Amino acid sequence: MSGDYSRNSFDARRHFSLVRLQQGRVGLDSDWNEQAEIIERRARAHAVDALGRHGVPRETVDGFRITLGPAGGPPTLAIGRGRIYVDGLLAENHGGPPLSFDLSELRADGRSPAGVLGEALGAATLDYAAQPYWPTPDPLPAGAGPHLVYLDVWQREVTAIEDATLLEKALGGVDTTTRLQTVWQVRVLPNVGTGVVQAAAALWQRVQRPRAPSGRLTTQLDPAVQPSNPCLIATSGGYGGLENQLYRVEVHEGGPPGTATFKWSRDNATVTTTVDEVISNTLLHVASTGRDALLGFDAGQWVEVTDDHREFAARPGALMKIADVDHESRRISFATPVPADLLPSGVGGDTPGRRHTRLRRWDQAGIVRDGAGGVVADLDAAGAVGAIPIPAAAGTAVALESGIRVAFDLAEADGGFRPGDSWTFAARSIDASVEKLDRAPPQGVHRHCVPLALLGTAEVIDLRPLFNPAAGRIRVASALHVDADGRTRPIRAGQEIPVNLLADGLNVLLHDSIDADSVNDGSFYVTTEIPYRLPAPYAGAGGGVVAYQPVTLPADVVLAGDGILGWRPYAQTLSFLGDLVQKDVPRLGNVSFEREFEVFDNGGPASRWAVGGGNVVVQTQALAGTSTTPQAVTLPTMAVHRHRMKEDAAYVGLTCEEPLSGSIGLVYNWLSPADFSLFVAREVWVPIGFSGAMANLVVSHSQIKGGQIVPGSQHEKTVFGASDPRRITLDIKQTGRRLQFGCSAQFSGQPVTFPDLEFPITTRLLPDSRLGLLTAGTGTTRFTRLQVIYGNDLPTTLVPAGLNSRLLSRLVVKRSLLELTSERSTLSTTPAPEPDFETWFWLTPPTSAYYGYRYGGYGGFLGIGFGRLVAGAGMMERRREP
């Protein structure tokens, strides 16, 4: 019930988080205990904040699950083995015999042990009548009900009196430490109404509300008194005891003021002993009669006789006055009989040792007075019950001893005092002080309840609140997609995925095996947000987009493997998405070109740039970037994107789809209108004898500083063709501090790939520079791709341009709708609610895979791309570049 402490120093309002020992200082029990209280409160607060007030963990899914006993026999309940958290307290049912080792006992799925804590486990269920902390449970109610089964949880202090195994035999059984034990009882509240709401209301009104700790205690000291006779010495007031004490005041019988009673001890009620034998109903043989005259038992003292039966039934023990103590034979006798329910029968296991029958000394005695000197109780009078009545008038002080007074009152007018409500306060002789309590609530016992089940005539409705671990009951490892090189890559939130790459589908990897029947369109799906555009005259800025509507994309949802969810879109789904991002469909609006690009005509004829259908970039002025003066040098017209390059740029590239009739190119390392570099492809017609001419493709490089071409920076390569080149791709890859250049084009329907262009360029892709497009005398030019890659990330797309060429998409796994394979064979199949797993990405227009190049068959030049297209023996094979 209580330990031998100097004081209780813990106060949550001081917000201490750690107790630190200092070298060479005295060690106090109060310091040790305050550290334990800090940790215990932190653990409870964390459990409440993280898990909620009540919850059964998915790890022990059947913890405290209530099932009915077999039909035909006496009514009984079975209590499932496992754990439950109640207001931050952890209650655990380890089950009944036989015992097994948790690491050896397998779960129903045979794939994992029943537990991981390395401890003994009992049977899967425990009978209602075999509860460890309720030796005499109430009979189950009769009738159809419904009846509410609930769990009652509290903490009690256990000393060597209640558990003799706490004594170390090697030290001669000397008393050392105490323990705080979490106690639980499964109880039944009969006839609670027709539904869960009514049952919860009944639990509150009939159980929890009456238990509310409304009692309050205030400590006082006798005031100093100045006598009227000047020859007499004034009384100083304050605590008049010679010893330092920890006083305990405890409610004995509960009820309202005037009915409730209390008892008190100057030693925190630690003078106790166990009963070894019941000699008669007035004579007990005890283990000890005390250490000495101050800490022992003697005639005339009031003691409380109690046992586990009364404690677990929330009933106080019987207060009895000692008639005589025989210290030699360790016998204590009483003038009145011990109540019959406290006398074990001795039959079977009903013994004082099994019940932990015990005596506890209290220190109230004689005539008890109030602060005004009036008699509150005479404990020496015939028929005295040993407890002191709590005065009916709130705030009435009751004198204990040595100048100490206590006053009781209630927090609520209709409240009452609970049996077992207790307060402790320290008294110190060095300064005649007593620890101040000002209408302090009781320190214990505080009971906590949670509903478990609603019982009908032949059914059980499970009311336990389940929760999953932080990682989720269905634990998602990763969401995957296939990139342009055919590699499986994790989906990063916010990345861009070209629509055509969805053809290979998406996968979600799970840590556990999933029941195939739970995998469907409701448990795993992908959505995309479709923009809505109003027609003129309502369309305004931003292309007239006024709203976005999320739609679920049709697809096959499958269990692609053990723990692998697969999402496979239909062909019409991909066509629909491709139309949205490539065409100016009625619900898709384009962005303004000026928002994305800055134009520099460099003194030549003005260009005409715009964002066309599908948000590609077009330039329609035929003579832009050319010169009408023979021999004059005119820089081409440029559209420079406002994106600034970041560190770790590894690749930039563009694609032009129109037949080339002039020059197109990639502007890179653009720092100012007079400082940039150009990678250009131009068409040059060369006469062929007397019969005509042939188109050649010339790829060149130049660097501009101060508006002039840097000497020595101009380099070019030529490929011979037979017609206008089209679908031209220019690529720059950075390897260390060296740039590699590549180009591919299409002549007469046949692709032609340049080998690596060995320009002696030693610069690199500069951070904070910009990229751009250029044209010179090309007529209508249509750029369908401008991209940059940083490190090993997926491309950052600059063309197609603008927000509306991207569709915001989400991958959602409804984990609460999935079912683990192992759950099919457990007692409980109701999944605990848990958050959905979700990630998001952008869907962008289709993009070609920009592979590297192999030129001239085996042994040729390797290209610059991030993958490799290898031709040989009539087979096309994709490989990763080393």
Dist. CA 137–CA 790, nearest whole Å: 70
pLDDT on residue 289: 94
CB atoms < 10 A from the CB of 130, how many? Answer: 14
pLDDT on residue 606: 86
The percent of residues above 70 in pLDDT, for the chain, comes to 85
Q: Which two tokens stand for residue 144?
A: 């159809």
pLDDT on residue 537: 53
Residue 805, pLDDT above cutoff 70:
no
Query: Which of 422 and 612 is assigned the larger pLDDT?
Result: 422
What is the average pLDDT score of the chain? 85
Ordered domains of the chain (ranges, CATH)? 52-165+175-209+448-467 (no CATH), 215-223+236-434 (no CATH), 476-584+807-844 (2.60.40), 593-801 (2.60.120.560), 851-882 (no CATH)
Q: Which of 877, 881, 805 is nearest to 847 (CA)?
A: 805
pLDDT on residue 752: 66
The percent of residues above 90 in pLDDT, for the chain, comes to 54
HSE (side-chain half, CA atoms, 13 Å) at 504: 14
Give the pLDDT mean for 55-82. Answer: 86
Give the pLDDT mean for 506-523. Answer: 92
How large is the greatest C-alpha to C-alpha distance in the chain, in angstroms?
A: 149
Residue 269, pLDDT above cutoff 50:
yes
Residue 676 is which amino acid?
F
Residue 589, pLDDT above cutoff 60:
no
Q: Which two tokens stand for residue 700?
A: 């060149």
Residue 313, pLDDT above cutoff 60:
yes
Residue 475, pLDDT above cutoff 90:
no
Q: Which of 59-63, 104-108, 782-786 has the lowest mean pLDDT?
A: 104-108
Question: Taking a C-beta distance cutoff of 8 angstroms, is the pair 57, 469 a contact?
Answer: yes
pLDDT on residue 830: 62
Residue 867, pLDDT above cutoff 50:
no
Give the pLDDT mean for 218-247. Answer: 78
Q: Which stretches of 204-323 are DSSP H helices?
A: 308-312
Q: Which of 154-168, 796-810, 821-835 has the lowest mean pLDDT?
A: 821-835
Residue 437, pLDDT above cutoff 70:
yes
Question: Taking a C-beta distance cutoff of 8 angstroms, is the pair 850, 731 a contact?
Answer: yes
Question: Taking a C-beta distance cutoff of 8 angstroms, is the pair 249, 406 a contact?
Answer: yes
pLDDT band at 801 (very low <50, low <70, confident <90, very high): low
* DSSP letter assigned to residue 105: S
CB atoms < 10 A from the CB of 299, how many? Answer: 11
pLDDT on residue 857: 39
Give the pLDDT mean for 668-672. Answer: 95
Question: Taking a C-beta distance cutoff of 8 angstroms, is the pair 761, 701 a contact?
Answer: yes
Dist. CA 103–CA 116, nearest whole Å: 6
pLDDT on residue 872: 26
- The residues near 275 (Cβ < 8 Å, ≥ 6 apart) are 284, 285, 286, 287, 305, 352, 357, 358, 359
Residue 864, pLDDT above cutoff 50:
no
Residue 543, pLDDT above cutoff 80:
no
pLDDT on residue 448: 95
Spacing of C-alpha 356 from chain mean position: 43
Model confidence pLDDT, tens digit, residues 618-669:
898 888 888 665 545 577 899 999 999 998 898 999 988 877 888 999 999 9
Averaging pLDDT over each range in 496-500, 692-696, 750-754, which range is the top one? 496-500
Give one DSSP letter per residue of 724-738, joined into a string.
--EEEEEEEEEETTE
Dist. CA 480–CA 504, nearest whole Å: 11
Residue 685, pLDDT above cutoff 90:
no
Residue 318, pLDDT above cutoff 50:
yes
Q: For residue 766, give Cα distances in angstroms to 339, 437, 641.
A: 94, 72, 15
Give the pLDDT mean for 446-457. Answer: 90
Q: Which of 9-18, 273-282, 690-699 has the lowest mean pLDDT?
A: 690-699
Give the pLDDT mean for 421-444. Answer: 94
pLDDT on residue 876: 31
Q: Which of 102-106, 189-193, 577-581, 617-621 has the lowest mean pLDDT?
A: 577-581
Reply yes or no: is the peptide bond before residue 845 cis, omega within 30 of 0.
no
Q: Which two tokens stand for residue 156?
A: 């009690």
pLDDT on residue 771: 97
Residue 585, pLDDT above cutoff 60:
no
Residue 252, pLDDT above cutoff 90:
yes
pLDDT band at 255 (very low <50, low <70, confident <90, very high): very high
Give the pLDDT mean for 441-453. Answer: 93
pLDDT band at 756 (very low <50, low <70, confident <90, very high): low
Model confidence pLDDT, tens digit, residues 170-203:
998 888 999 999 999 999 999 998 888 999 999 9
Reply yes or no: is the peptide bond before residue 636 cis, omega within 30 of 0.
no
Which helix or strand (DSSP H or E) is residue 649 part of? strand 649-656
